[in-house]
């Protein structure tokens, strides 16, 4: 436990000293006005049980002492209480060693000093000076009746700390608006597009100090377009083996149909093969088989990873092989088995992760983590036409640096499949257009909480 007294000209200066020396986990125990400005007592790594025990012991000893010395002057009570508290704390395991009387006298309790200074200690090795902990407990004036009183004080102090931090964050955000208007404009525009705060802050840091754009409202879109992770050349146009993975209902089978139809229009269906390892969903293989029959492509349905490997060996002559997998939620216990089977039978396949655009940020994060063991080379953003905002899915790809290969904005086969590299400007404009139609209303508290707090703690 480390308790320390700080004196400064203002409360903000005192809090800066506390944060610098004891870190953001420090708890303010007390504060008061003094002639020099403000006095703040803060603690870090404190033991609540130890302090509460010391308070109870101090209360009991003080009551005993007052009963046995009823004829003594009342002015001696504060000194007796302080000595009793010191004895209780220093006798507890892990208590700090006692300090010299001169160190304690350097900052006596204001109430005790006003009533009657404590008498000087008698000489002798058996006499122990009051400890720093006892002195700070007396200064805090913690209620001595119960644990409940101490918990109430602690809760109120934490609430005060939150209020102070929020106030500092607001001051920091308003100061940032004045000093860095371009950055704050970027933060506000990206936030209105539902871009996550951490991603928006990272993009804002790349904002130039000056811009040649005549309309600075286009600066956020320019930054987003420049850093949007898209696949430059990886696509099915040159062939290969591709496996699509993703959660239930993400549109994997429909996306495979679009990819296959686009290939057939350019190269014919002789070098195309469709493979389904989805043995869980009723009718999944029949749906893919229908597409294969329409396109004139071969269709295969292995039931295990080893069988998948043998099927792919027979399909080496095919220029494009598309593998459809079962849709499973991130918490499905069978997901790991399917990913292991895919890795066993199709280790050379390039994995494309389907991300539904209407998904919320936390749900997309779960998908990324759940399908991470498959090591996806890129992703396909599906159901763009159904999303009320594209901020969450764009934030997810930026945060994980997951490149976008394709995006789908409808059910038409293959018209509603688009290369992200060729249509990334359209994708960013679509995100901005959704903001214009239904902008997210962010108040000053949102900006201060997400973009002012970090600077206030720096």
**3 strand-pairing partners:** 43
Q: Provide the pLDDT for residue 417.
A: 94
Percent of the chain's residues with pLDDT above 90: 31
Digit-coded pLDDT (tens) for 20-31: 888 877 877 788
Q: What is the DSSP letter of 386?
A: G
Asked if pLDDT for residue 408 goes beyond 60, the answer is: yes
With residues binned 3-state (H G I as helix, E B as strand, rest as coil), the percentages for the chain, rounded to 5, are 55, 15, 35
Residue 11 lies in a domain: yes
3 state SS of 378 = strand
Among 140-144, 315-319, 444-448, the least confident range? 140-144
Q: Provide the pLDDT for residue 71.
A: 45
Round to whole Å and give the CA distance between 197 and 186.
Answer: 12
Find the domain containing 281 and state its range: 236-415
- Per-residue CA distances from 284 to 275, 279, 315, 322, 352 (Å): 11, 8, 21, 15, 19
Digit-coded pLDDT (tens) for 124-172: 444 444 455 555 555 544 544 556 667 777 777 777 777 776 677 677 6
Instruction: Check if the beta carbon of residue 109 is closer than 8 Å to that of residue 135.
Output: yes
Task: For residues 419-444, give the mean pLDDT.
Answer: 84
Residue 335 lies in a domain: yes
Q: Provide the pLDDT for residue 236.
A: 56
Residue 409 lies in a domain: yes
Digit-coded pLDDT (tens) for 269-305: 899 999 998 876 666 678 889 999 999 999 999 988 8
Residue 29 lies in a domain: yes
Among 71-75, 176-180, 311-315, the least confident range? 71-75
Say if strands 350-356 and 320-324 run parallel, antiparallel, or are unpaired.
Answer: unpaired
Residue 201 lies in a domain: no
Find tokens 């840091």 and name the residue: 205
* Residue burial 39-56, b: 16+ Cβ < 10 Å; e: rest: bbbbbbebeeebbbbbbb
Q: Provide the pLDDT for residue 309.
A: 93
Find tokens 């688009």 and name the residue: 418
**Is the same domain home to 375 and 257?**
yes
**Is the same domain home to 133 and 242?**
no
Residue 54 lies in a domain: yes
Task: For residues 104-116, give the mean pLDDT.
Answer: 41
**Is the same domain home to 251 and 134?**
no
Q: Which residues contact 12 (CB under 8 A, 6 or more apart)?
A: 168
**Is the same domain home to 145 and 270?**
no
Asked if pLDDT for residue 458 goes beyond 70, the answer is: no
Q: Provide the pLDDT for residue 456.
A: 42
CA angle 352, 354, 356 (to 5 degrees): 160
**Is the same domain home to 392 and 294?**
yes
Q: Which CATH number goes with the domain that contains 404? A: 3.40.50.300
3 state SS of 116 = coil
Domains in the chain, number: 2
**Is the same domain home to 386 and 278?**
yes
Round to whole Å and give the CA distance between 256 and 345.
Answer: 19
Q: Which residue has the higher pLDDT, 12 or 164?
A: 12
Instruction: Check if the beta carbon of residue 397 is closer than 8 Å to that of residue 442.
Output: no
**Is the same domain home to 363 and 265?**
yes
**Is the same domain home to 132 and 243?**
no
Task: For residues 372-394, give the mean pLDDT.
Answer: 93
Residue 384 lies in a domain: yes
Q: Provide the pLDDT for residue 91.
A: 39
Mean pLDDT computed over every residue of the chain: 76
Residue 46 lies in a domain: yes
Round to whole Å and give the CA distance between 417 and 23.
Answer: 52
Q: What is the DSSP letter of 39?
A: E
Q: Provide the pLDDT for residue 384.
A: 94
């Amino acid at each position: 436990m480390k308790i320390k007294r700080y004196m400064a000209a203002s409360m903000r200066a005192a809090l800066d000293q506390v944060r610098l020396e004891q870190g953001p986990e420090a708890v303010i125990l007390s504060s008061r006005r003094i002639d020099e400005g403000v006095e703040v007592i803060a603690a870090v790594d404190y033991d609540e049980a130890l302090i509460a025990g010391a308070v109870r012991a101090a209360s009991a000893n003080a009551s005993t002492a007052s009963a046995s010395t009823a004829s003594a002057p009342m002015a001696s009570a504060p000194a007796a209480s302080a000595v009793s508290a010191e004895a209780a704390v220093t006798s507890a395991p892990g208590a700090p060693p006692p300090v010299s009387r001169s160190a304690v006298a350097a900052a006596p309790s204001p109430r005790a000093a006003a009533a009657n200074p404590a008498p000087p200690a008698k000489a002798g090795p058996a006499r122990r000076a009051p400890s720093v902990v006892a002195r700070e407990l007396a200064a805090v004036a913690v209620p001595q009746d119960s644990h409940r009183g101490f918990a109430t004080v602690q809760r109120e102090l934490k609430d005060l700390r939150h209020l102070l931090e929020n106030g500092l964050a607001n001051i920091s955000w308003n100061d940032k608006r004045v000093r860095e208007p371009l950055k704050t404009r970027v933060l506000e525009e990206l936030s209105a597009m539902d871009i996550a705060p951490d991603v928006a802050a990272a993009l804002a840091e790349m904002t130039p100090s000056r811009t040649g754009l005549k309309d600075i409202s286009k600066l956020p879109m320019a930054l987003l377009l420049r850093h949007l992770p898209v696949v430059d050349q990886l696509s099915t146009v040159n062939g290969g083996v591709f496996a699509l993975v993703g959660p239930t209902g993400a549109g994997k089978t429909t996306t495979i149909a679009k990819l296959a139809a686009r290939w057939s229009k350019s190269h014919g269906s002789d070098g195309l093969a469709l493979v389904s390892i989805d043995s869980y969903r009723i009718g999944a293989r029949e749906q893919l088989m229908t597409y294969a029959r329409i396109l004139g492509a071969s269709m295969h349905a292995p039931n295990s990873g080893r069988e998948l490997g043998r099927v792919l060996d027979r399909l080496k002559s095919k220029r494009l092989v598309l593998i459809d997998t079962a849709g499973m939620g991130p918490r499905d216990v069978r997901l790991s088995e399917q990913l292991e089977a895919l890795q066993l039978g199709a280790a050379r396949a390039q994995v494309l992760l389907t991300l539904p655009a209407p998904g919320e940020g936390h749900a997309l994060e779960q998908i990324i983590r759940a399908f991470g063991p498959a090591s996806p080379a890129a992703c396909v953003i599906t159901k763009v036409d159904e999303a009320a905002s594209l901020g969450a899915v764009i934030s997810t790809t930026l945060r994980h640096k997951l490149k976008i290969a394709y995006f789908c904005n409808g059910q038409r086969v293959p018209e509603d499949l688009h290369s992200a590299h060729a249509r990334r400007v359209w994708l960013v404009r679509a995100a901005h257009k959704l903001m214009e139609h239904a902008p997210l209303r962010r108040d000053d508290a949102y900006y201060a909480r997400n973009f002012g707090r970090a600077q206030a703690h720096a």
